[in-house]
Amino acid sequence: MKRIFPFVSASVMQPVLRCSLALVFFLHAAVRIANHTIPQFAGFLENAGLPFGKAIVIAISVFEIAGAVLLAMGVWVRLISAGLFVLLLIGIILIHWANGWFVGEHGVGGIEYSFVLMVGLMVVAAGARETTNRR
């Protein structure tokens, strides 16, 4: 039997993608907390015209951490994926859109990374029925 890349089936890769995305969101919030950048992010949001910047950033961080844990566990995959998708979309609108498409090399802080995460979340949500418990 000839084996070709990626050497595993989509059903095997579905939980790998789900857990990988969970890790990205978990670390994104954990680093924000560990590096004490909540006030900086809150100030950015308040300068953008949003009230209660610190409360918003704390809520985002809690959702990213709790959502990542639930996503990794395979619990409420579609709901968590949708919430994280919306969070990324809002981030694109408020932060990244003005910086263009590229994140690095050809630009700084663009939307390409968020776009790839959003597509990954859609793939995970689409495959949720086959790979997770129905919760």
Compute CA distances 43 → 10, 50, 53, 94, 117, whole Å: 42, 9, 6, 13, 25
Domain ranges of the chain: 14-131
In this predicted structure, the answer to whether residue 130 has a pLDDT above a threshold of 60 is: no
Q: What does 90-109 look like in DSSP terms, one character per residue?
A: HHIIIIIGGG-S-SSSS-SS
Q: Could you tell me the pLDDT band of residue 10, with boundaries at 50, 70 and 90?
A: confident
State pLDDT tens for residues 87-114. Answer: 999 999 998 988 888 887 777 888 999 9
- At 86 the pLDDT is 98
In this predicted structure, the answer to whether residue 37 has a pLDDT above a threshold of 70 is: yes
Average pLDDT over all residues of the chain: 91
- At 132 the pLDDT is 47
* CB of 110 closer than 8 Å to CB of 99: yes
- At 105 the pLDDT is 74
* CB of 21 closer than 8 Å to CB of 124: yes
Q: Residue 80 corresponds to which amino acid?
A: I
